[in-house]
């Protein structure tokens, strides 16, 4: 079967994580993604956090699957000529440079649009127009300024970053949605358009429930939070679920750093849970039997649950709770995830061969389309597809040799 985005061509001018995570998803969905890199160096992550000398880092390989790589000196006249040919023939251009960088190359949106009226020009920036527009943004800065850090951690501790890359990859996923919307709109208008997502906005969108709770504070304390004191802003609430059903991470045997399981107590789950932990009398006790009365003593409730879970492994607890339809999830370490047989069978974790580093594991495509299966291919070597792509643009072998000699590619 064909791929969902077969026939769509993308010029990928992204680097580090937010942009490459976006274009990798497009590549997984079948787009022809041509990654444009600086001759001799390429994407800076090729050399960052290397575990093997002289080999593309896992940072790079895990963000650039299924792409083709070309190198191009954008400061040369010949490089600009090649760039303009590329822009004229692609559907989408994606970049995540600092504000104004592409304009300073000599290619503002109006010029790009003139070269290719059907072009979708997609950008990731740290912030939208306004006070923060020219500020530099990184993953944890986006978390800090998007509402995630102030609401993550425990009440008596500092603001805390989450290990999930919601600022970088989270923004990349938002950009994919915007690109696909613009691509669909083009089918009726025939015109491309400018698409932009700010990292701060993407994190804020993922923190919307905290803005919900900020407004609920006007009417009193937040009962589902474990906090004793409430001020005029949403507090850090540890491992509380923050939703309509209370949850907490409780300890399991043998007591290692990730020997925990997250348990959610829904109203129908209280009676079977009480019986399971050996507190049958609490199933019908008026002081415990309803969600309303349990809300004021969630700490005591989860302490009772933990007395039981500490006697069992998280896997045993998972089996016992699921047998009674009680929502739960063991805290899985990165080692457990990368070795999980089920995730490998599902293609959520895949092993990829690489000509220089050998095989390595990476994440599979989380988007599952019944008619468009995804095969994860390795990331390209720097400039690996120079001859191939430039030949597609009509350049001869002699011209390619001249480009190489002049440092254009």
Select from 406, 386, 383 the least CA-distant residue to 397.
Answer: 386
Q: How far apart are CA 83 and CA 402, in angstroms?
A: 16
Q: How far apart are CA 48 and CA 51, in angstroms?
A: 9
Residue 218 DSSP SS3: helix
* Helix (H) or strand (E) run with residue 272 in it: helix 270-276
Q: Is 51 designated active site? A: no
Q: Cβ-count burial of 359 within 10 angstroms (0-12 exposed, 13-18 middle, 19+ buried)?
A: exposed
Select from 270, 273, 272 the least CA-distant residue to 286.
Answer: 270
Q: Give the position of tokens 């409780």.
A: 250
Q: How far apart are CA 233 and CA 281, in angstroms?
A: 39
CA distances (Å), origin 3, targets 28, 210, 351, 379: 9, 38, 21, 19
- Given the DSSP bridges, would you call strands 328-330 and 360-363 parallel, antiparallel or unpaired? unpaired
Exactly one of 168, 201, 213, 259 is catalytic; name it: 168
Is there a cis peptide before residue 254, judged by omega within 30 degrees of 0?
Answer: yes
Residues involved in catalysis: 168
């Amino acid at each position: 079967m064909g791929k969902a985005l077969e026939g769509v061509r993308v010029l990928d001018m992204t680097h580090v994580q937010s942009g490459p995570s976006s274009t990798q998803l497009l590549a997984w969905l079948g787009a022809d993604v041509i990654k444009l890199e600086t001759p001799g160096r390429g994407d800076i992550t090729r050399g960052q956090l290397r575990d093997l000398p002289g080999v593309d880092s896992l940072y790079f390989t895990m963000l650039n699957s299924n792409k083709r790589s070309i190198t191009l000196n954008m400061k040369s006249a010949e490089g600009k000529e090649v760039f303009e040919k590329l822009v004229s023939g692609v559907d989408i251009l994606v970049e995540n440079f600092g504000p104004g960088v592409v304009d300073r190359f000599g290619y503002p949106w109006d010029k790009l649009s003139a070269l290719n009226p059907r072009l979708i020009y997609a950008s990731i920036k740290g912030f939208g127009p306004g006070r923060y527009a020219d500020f530099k943004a990184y993953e944890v800065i986006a978390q800090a300024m998007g509402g995630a850090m102030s609401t993550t951690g425990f009440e008596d501790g500092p603001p805390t970053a989450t290990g999930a890359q919601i600022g970088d990859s989270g923004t990349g996923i938002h950009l994919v949605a915007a690109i696909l919307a613009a691509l669909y709109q083009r089918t009726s208008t025939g015109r491309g358009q400018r698409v932009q997502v700010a990292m701060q906005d993407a994190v804020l969108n993922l923190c919307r429930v905290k803005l919900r709770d900020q407004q609920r504070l006007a009417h009193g304390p937040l009962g589902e939070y474990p906090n004793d004191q409430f001020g005029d802003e949403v507090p850090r609430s540890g491992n509380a679920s923050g939703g309509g059903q209370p949850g907490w991470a409780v300890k399991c045997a043998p007591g290692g750093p990730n020997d925990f399981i997250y348990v959610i107590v829904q109203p129908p789950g209280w009676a079977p849970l009480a019986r399971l932990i050996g507190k049958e009398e609490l199933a019908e006790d008026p002081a415990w039997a309803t969600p309303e009365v349990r809300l004021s003593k969630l700490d005591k409730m989860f302490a009772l649950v933990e007395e039981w879970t500490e006697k069992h492994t998280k896997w045993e607890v998972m089996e016992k709770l699921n047998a009674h339809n009680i929502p739960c999830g063991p805290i899985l370490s990165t080692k457990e995830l990368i070795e999980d047989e089920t995730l490998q069978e599902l293609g959520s974790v895949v092993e990829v061969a690489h000509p220089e580093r050998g095989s390595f594991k990476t994440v599979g495509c989380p988007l599952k389309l019944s008619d468009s299966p995804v095969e994860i291919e390795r990331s390209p070597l720097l400039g690996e597809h120079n001859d191939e792509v430039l030949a597609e643009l009509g350049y001869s072998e002699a011209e390619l040799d001249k480009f190489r000699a002049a440092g254009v590619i």
